[in-house]
Structure 1
Amino acid sequence: MSDSAAYKVETTSRLAQWRIENLASCTYRKSNPFKIGKWNWHLSVEKNRMLFVKLYPEISNLTRDNPPIASFIIRVICSAGGRKSLAHPEVTDKQLKSNDDFVWAIEVPLTGKFIVDVEFLDLKTASPSGGRPNSIWAEGYAEKLSNAAALSTLGRMLTEGILTDVVINACDGTISAHRAVLAARSPVFRGMFSHDLKEKELSAIDISDMSIKVCQAFLTYIYGNIRNADFLAHRLELLHAADKYDISDLKDACHQSLVEDIDTTNVLERLQFAYLYQLQELKASCLMYLVKFGKIYDIHEDLNRFLQQADGELIYDIFHEVLNAWKGF
């Protein structure tokens, strides 16, 4: 066996086998990395008075941030004096971060060729919410394909006008859609189609405060295939639509996006929208940008015009923030 082959681990999707021809000439050997699931792994054997077998993930950012929680069966199969197999008790939900987290000490002396065989029963990662760990295999290829295909199909239903049954009249054009999709995504649309209103009778919805381009972006978000460029171009209008039609996830997406790129050209407009739609994080970020970071002095004239038209409560919040900042000096 060549030197490179001596360290190679053969794998299938969940099984790893390391064939060791002879350990007599050395007391320690570490395998080459092998991939099972999301991680690269190593096996090592150390021969002293006992044989120590270790299984551990390769140290990486993935391992540090998301260490595997493994369930597996590990065996050592020896060919000397007839085939002999030693099995460690099944390991269940063992978190592995370092090469000391799983060590199997074998007291039975082994000579000649042997195989270290690992069958992975499950691999999990910790839940971000602190709940039960999630199996990476339970995510499922079929589930991913199904979700992707469903989104693609919804998008085609809109773009190709497949069996549409409602027309949306924007201020400068019309677009066809599906009342079942709209009703499933918005309680406001559902109410229109569930009661004897003109939208139900005419199979039409008038949205006179929305352009056809914004309406297209709004619908592509609802159908799950909006392009990021379209979202960014129309997010203020989409925020209005999300609030009007009670689509909370779209409102959250707009809110977080507006927080991310505040600058002197848009901070006052963002502050007005934050007040109008009760977006507390956006409001706090705008006030911090203006006051704590001193940008209020860079837009003095714009601020004067803004204060002449702003709501009294918003003006109070701005001056309250300024006063608190002065107290800190």
Structure 2
Amino acid sequence: MSADSAYRVETTPRLAQWRIETLSSTYRKSNPFRIGLWNWFLTVERNKQFCVKLYPEVSSLTRDQPPIASFVIKLVSSSSSSGRKTIVHPGICDKQLKNSDDFVWAVDTLFTGKLIIDVEFLDLKVAPSSGGEPASIWTGYPITKQSSFTALTALSRMLIDSIHTDITITTSDGSIGAHRAVLATRSPVFHSMFSHNLKEKELSMINISDMSIEACQAFLNYIYGNFQATEFMAHRLDLLRAADKYDIADLKEACHESLVEDIDTKNVLERLQVSHLYRLNKLKASCMRYLVNFGKVYEIRDELNLFIQNADRELIAEMFQEILSTWKGY
């Protein structure tokens, strides 16, 4: 038996078998093997008990979509003295496996001779990133994923190719066609516009004069599922304003989280004003901490003086309260 074959696990789409001719050491780890979306490992450890572990390889996929596994595992040993012996685990149902300690099977038998570790996967599920019930990768998951992808592609084409548009959005420097039904589904404000006898319904036109056509296109791309990271970064403040105005909570939260991530001396005062205007508590706390706790307030004195002259009085009071509270701690 070659050294490589001693660690190789044979597989079918749902079955894995590790054949160990002799277990001379107290610990052995298999080569990675593929079942479903993940690479897996088996390990055996022989001490006071005989322990078997099964776990997926550490990866971004395992972190973002850890497998929820149902399987039957058994140990089959054979030797010239004791013959063939099989020990079957009671079974695992819908257990999430992320690391090497999530499934550990300890048995009191200390095996001698040849050993087969047999794992039959009954199902593997993943939980949707958007929430909801886990779906099997072998049944509902691929169908659901394909259906969602196809639907988003079709929705994007409706916007890109102006297929049967029935509303026109006018911006500060141009206009874009869109669809009432899509806008109303994503925004309660748009829904209200089209449900009542307002001018937007009568004229089939929405005036968004505080947005450029590029920012509005990014806004619509998000609504239609045709969004690009580059345009998001380029238009975050415009998108935040639109998300707040038209009550699109998921877009507002995405902008909020993103604005927290790259605060610096050039943008911190603007971000602080934005956080106050749109009630973004996490962003406000991060800006305050950056300015006060890290002492950046002393590096932008000229900008701060101008900011104090023009900013909301309530916000200025909060800032000085934060400074006084921090000084008391020293």
The two structures share one fold, judged by TM-score above 0.5? yes
Instruction: Give how far 1:188 is off.
Output: 0.5
Distance (whole Å) between structure 2 residues aligned to residue 12 and residue 103 of structure 1: 26
Q: Could you say if the C-alpha distance between residues 43 and 300 of structure 1 is closer, same or farther in structure 2, counting changes exceeding 3 Å?
A: closer
Distance (whole Å) between structure 2 residues aligned to residue 232 and residue 62 of structure 1: 23
In terms of mean alpha carbon deviation, does 302-311 or 119-128 score higher? Answer: 119-128
2:54 counterpart residue number: 56
Distance (whole Å) between structure 1 residues aligned to residue 134 and residue 234 of structure 2: 36
| Secondary structure class of the residue paired with 1:259 | helix
Q: Deviations over 1:238-276 (max 9, x none)?
A: 111111101111111111111111111111111111111
Instruction: Give how far 1:3 is off.
Output: 4.5
2:153 counterpart residue number: 152
Is the contact made by 2:135 and 2:141 (CA closer than 8 Å) also made in structure 1?
no
Letter in 2 for 1:73: V
1:74 counterpart residue number: 73
Instruction: Give how far 1:97 is off.
Output: 2.9
Instruction: Give how far 1:46 is off.
Output: 6.8
| Secondary structure class of the residue paired with 2:190 | helix
Instruction: Give how far 1:191 is off.
Output: 0.7
| Secondary structure class of the residue paired with 1:140 | helix
Q: Could you say if the C-alpha distance between residues 11 and 53 of structure 1 is closer, same or farther in structure 2, counting changes exceeding 3 Å?
A: farther
Letter in 1 for 2:70: S
Distance (whole Å) between structure 1 residues aligned to residue 185 and residue 211 of structure 2: 21
Letter in 2 for 1:74: I
Instruction: Give how far 1:199 is off.
Output: 1.5
Q: Could you say if the C-alpha distance between residues 168 and 53 of structure 1 is closer, same or farther in structure 2, counting changes exceeding 3 Å?
A: same
Identity %: 51
Distance (whole Å) between structure 2 residues aligned to residue 229 and residue 79 of structure 1: 61
Distance (whole Å) between structure 2 residues aligned to residue 240 and residue 87 of structure 1: 63
Matches within 5 A, 1:38-57: 38-42=38-42, 44=44, 54-57=52-55
Q: Could you say if the C-alpha distance between residues 79 and 320 of structure 1 is closer, same or farther in structure 2, counting changes exceeding 3 Å?
A: closer
Letter in 2 for 1:34: F
1:91 counterpart residue number: 91
Is the contact made by 2:186 and 2:223 (CA closer than 8 Å) also made in structure 1?
yes
Distance (whole Å) between structure 2 residues aligned to residue 244 and residue 177 of structure 1: 18
2:5 counterpart residue number: 5
In terms of mean alpha carbon deviation, does 302-311 or 57-66 score higher? Answer: 57-66
Matches within 5 A, 1:231-250: 231-250=232-251
Is the contact made by 1:64 and 1:97 (CA closer than 8 Å) also made in structure 2?
no
Distance (whole Å) between structure 1 residues aligned to residue 3 and residue 248 of structure 2: 62
Instruction: Give how far 1:292 is off.
Output: 1.5
Superposition RMSD in Å: 3.8
Q: Could you say if the C-alpha distance between residues 63 and 181 of structure 1 is closer, same or farther in structure 2, counting changes exceeding 3 Å?
A: closer
2:206 counterpart residue number: 205
Is the contact made by 2:27 and 2:46 (CA closer than 8 Å) also made in structure 1?
yes
Distance (whole Å) between structure 1 residues aligned to residue 212 and residue 196 of structure 2: 27
Is the contact made by 1:27 and 1:47 (CA closer than 8 Å) also made in structure 2?
no
| Secondary structure class of the residue paired with 2:17 | strand
Instruction: Give how far 1:17 is off.
Output: 2.4
- What number of residue pairs does the alignment pair up? 320
2:297 counterpart residue number: 296
2:118 counterpart residue number: 117
| Secondary structure class of the residue paired with 2:235 | helix
Q: Could you say if the C-alpha distance between residues 47 and 157 of structure 1 is closer, same or farther in structure 2, counting changes exceeding 3 Å?
A: same
| Secondary structure class of the residue paired with 1:102 | strand
Q: Could you say if the C-alpha distance between residues 158 and 321 of structure 1 is closer, same or farther in structure 2, counting changes exceeding 3 Å?
A: same
Q: Could you say if the C-alpha distance between residues 6 and 133 of structure 1 is closer, same or farther in structure 2, counting changes exceeding 3 Å?
A: farther
Is the contact made by 1:124 and 1:133 (CA closer than 8 Å) also made in structure 2?
no
Instruction: Give how far 1:63 is off.
Output: 11
Tell me whether 1:17 sits opposite 2:17 in the alignment. yes
Tell me whether 1:313 sits opposite 2:314 in the alignment. yes
Distance (whole Å) between structure 1 residues aligned to residue 120 and residue 126 of structure 2: 18
Distance (whole Å) between structure 1 residues aligned to residue 254 and residue 132 of structure 2: 27
Letter in 2 for 1:296: V
Is the contact made by 2:72 and 2:122 (CA closer than 8 Å) also made in structure 1?
yes
Distance (whole Å) between structure 2 residues aligned to residue 310 and residue 117 of structure 1: 68
Distance (whole Å) between structure 2 residues aligned to residue 126 and residue 217 of structure 1: 29
Unaligned 5+ residue runs, structure 2? Answer: none
1:260 counterpart residue number: 261
In terms of mean alpha carbon deviation, does 312-321 or 36-45 score higher? Answer: 36-45
Is the contact made by 2:70 and 2:122 (CA closer than 8 Å) also made in structure 1?
yes
1:101 counterpart residue number: 104
Is the contact made by 2:16 and 2:119 (CA closer than 8 Å) also made in structure 1?
yes
Distance (whole Å) between structure 1 residues aligned to residue 27 and residue 264 of structure 2: 57
Distance (whole Å) between structure 2 residues aligned to residue 203 and residue 243 of structure 1: 22
Is the contact made by 2:43 and 2:54 (CA closer than 8 Å) also made in structure 1?
yes
1:36 counterpart residue number: 35
Instruction: Give how far 1:183 is off.
Output: 0.3
